Structure 1
């Protein structure tokens, strides 16, 4: 397996492996996309739009794991540099002259427009913002000495390639970046993956399955930090 920065041409493969990886996951799969098996292409497009917006966000870094035998993209990670410092890319007037900033906004608007014209048939529209609506209940964990951090926004491995160590390497990339800057690394674990992250030094400090997520029966949501 090889780890490298993602290319624009990788996004479709990244979306496809994400759909496969999250097919039976309780939040992005079962709760938010109850009709994903009836409309698999819509489920893939959901991830493709999201990854496209990440691509143009300067705070996010997209990585892929490539199978050396087939050359296929089989895993991905999205690491986000969070915080208010210049290292985190805090907002300024200069952002509005930045090409990626403009493209990020354009993609966001296009995604919103397309959702009205071509609704995501795999999704339950009443659950589209369930994660965002829960943020106020747990966002306080990213404050003080933990405000500046590298956050693992997304990690996915195609089911056919799980258990081969590729996810561990993708996690290590963000840990290494955090250590270079002497800041912490953080993530929210899906149900059942807490022990995997603990092996890389992450410790649970709170829960994200509160508020709307708790009301919808989500079991995962361990907020985990690897402090400096």
Structure 2
């Protein structure tokens, strides 16, 4: 029997911490990450650091929504659980959805603010220091990262400007095949249907079956490794278009 699954939005840095290890676990064999972060396999602790800063960037970006998926934790004493509504059970997966666009509807989702922008700026300085001068520099190829980032931005730009974009989706290896990824994906699909705008993403080979089953179709390619490898740019068009 599949345990009940709860989705909750990550709103604190404390809630973000468990996701670092889930991302590193779920993407440990991902060709794209291993291409621009080639030392991650030899130094797994560096891979966790990479996911820490990746998710911190997402956390401080406007328009980004980090959702965590949790199941009941068999090792947790119900009599001593705290903040069950906000941090229920054991976190087994997450998704990062972004509301893209310049419309009033998009701005209503995006939020932001001067303080958040300052924190993002300071984070960028910390990232530069970590990957230029600290131990994780041994694992990262800056030139490959810049290339991959450029291709990723080009893939996003090729999609409709008003859209819900799936930036990341990761499920712990111990919870895969239990519908966790489908639930996290459906959250963004529901938002796109409500607004009458497409949902878009860039898929690894591992995610193609899930995304195709939920109505996403190939709309382009993201090439890396001198064109020897690629990821699939995908779009799910809405069933109707709102006129208001």
Aligned-partner Cα distance in 1 for 2:212–2:27: 21
Matched pairs, number: 216
- Structure number with bigger Rg: 2
Q: What is the aligned counterpart of 1:23 among 12, 20, 28? A: 28
2:36 and 2:148 in contact (8 A); partners too = no
Give 5+ residue unaligned stretches, structure 2.
75-88, 239-244
Q: 1:1-228 residue pairs with structure 2 within 5 A? A: 1-6=5-10, 7-28=12-33, 30-70=34-74, 71-89=89-107, 98-120=114-136, 121-135=138-152, 138-142=155-159, 146-209=160-223, 213=224, 215=226, 217-219=228-230, 221-228=231-238
Aligned-partner Cα distance in 1 for 2:181–2:57: 22
Give 5+ residue unaligned stretches, structure 1.
none
Deviation (angstroms), 1:123 = 2.4
1:168-226 deviations in whole A, cap 9, x for unaligned? 000000111112221110001101422210111111111122xxx1515224x211111
1:24-45 deviations in whole A, cap 9, x for unaligned? 11011x2122222321111101
2:218 and 2:232 in contact (8 A); partners too = yes
1:109-165 deviations in whole A, cap 9, x for unaligned? 2212332221523223332222123247545522xxx21000000000111110000
Aligned-partner Cα distance in 2 for 1:51–1:141: 24
TM-score, scaled relative to structure 1: 0.86
Task: Decide whether aligned partners of structure 1 residues 72 and 139 sit closer, same or farther in structure 2, where only a CA change above 3 A counts.
Answer: closer
Moved more, 184-193 or 114-123: 114-123
1:49 and 1:111 in contact (8 A); partners too = yes
Aligned-partner Cα distance in 1 for 2:50–2:189: 28
Task: Decide whether aligned partners of structure 1 residues 140 and 153 sit closer, same or farther in structure 2, where only a CA change above 3 A counts.
Answer: closer
Aligned-partner Cα distance in 1 for 2:154–2:189: 26
TM-score, scaled relative to structure 2: 0.81
Q: What secondary structure sits across from 1:208 in the alignment?
A: strand
Q: What secondary structure sits across from 1:36 in the alignment?
A: coil
